[in-house]
């Protein structure tokens, strides 16, 4: 009976309900807006992509909360996931450089790929992931330099903001304990 109560409490935890409620709300906002204005025109494909992005973000945050060893680790991983979502969503919706149709915007997807592959390389260990995020922040600034050198537009505020978010996540993860620490034998 106690195990059933614990599972029910985990399922209905207020933070969990709030998180998934936010996912549902973000999906409902354009649906409701389409009823009142012609400026919002989402297709079924738009809703599908949004649902996949938001649900995968929610699941990744659930994993971060479950496996994070402390608050800093949980916050760091959640920030990594939310920054990746924000970059992807912004790039798909309006584009970071010019419009969403600018082919140079594709380079931002490489940053998210760098984070995903870096997570796998780091085996989701916080300290190793911290180094990956330092590299990611450098790549973000490198993109801005590339944009400036090729005179392809400018997004210095956004690129700096994203770099700072990557660095904040790196700082949070740097001082977090490893996911599986070796057990010392007793003497």
pLDDT in tens, 53-82: 999 999 999 998 888 889 999 999 999 999
Return the higher-pLDDT residue of 112 and 8.
Answer: 112
| pTM score, whole prediction | 0.83
Residue 135 pLDDT more than 90? yes
Whole-number Å distance between alpha carbons of 65 and 19: 12
Domain ranges of the chain: 1-39, 43-174
pLDDT band per the 50, 70, 90 thresholds, residue 184:
very low
Mean pLDDT within 30-43: 90
Q: What is the reported pLDDT for 11? A: 64
Report for 63-72, 95-104, 162-171: range of highest mean pLDDT: 162-171
CB under 8 A, 24+ apart: contacts of 137-141: 137/163, 137/164, 137/166, 137/167, 137/170, 138/163, 139/110, 139/111, 139/114, 140/111, 140/166
């Amino acid at each position: 009976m106690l195990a059933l109560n614990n599972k029910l409490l985990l399922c209905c935890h207020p933070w969990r309900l709030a998180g998934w409620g936010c996912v549902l709300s973000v999906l409902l906002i354009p649906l409701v807006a389409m009823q009142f204005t012609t400026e919002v025109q989402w297709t079924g494909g738009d809703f599908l992509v949004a649902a996949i992005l938001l649900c995968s973000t929610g699941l990744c945050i659930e994993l971060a909360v479950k496996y994070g060893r402390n608050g800093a680790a949980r916050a760091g991983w959640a920030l990594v996931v939310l920054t990746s979502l924000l970059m992807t969503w912004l790039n798909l919706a309006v584009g970071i450089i010019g419009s969403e149709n600018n082919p140079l915007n594709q380079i931002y997807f490489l940053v998210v790929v760098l984070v995903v592959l870096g997570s796998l390389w780091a085996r989701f260990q916080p300290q190793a992931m911290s180094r990956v995020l330092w590299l990611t922040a450098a790549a973000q600034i490198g993109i801005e330099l590339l944009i400036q050198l090729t005179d392809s537009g400018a997004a210095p505020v956004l690129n700096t903001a994203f770099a700072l978010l990557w660095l904040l996540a790196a700082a949070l993860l740097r001082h977090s304990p490893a996911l599986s620490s070796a057990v010392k034998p007793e003497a």
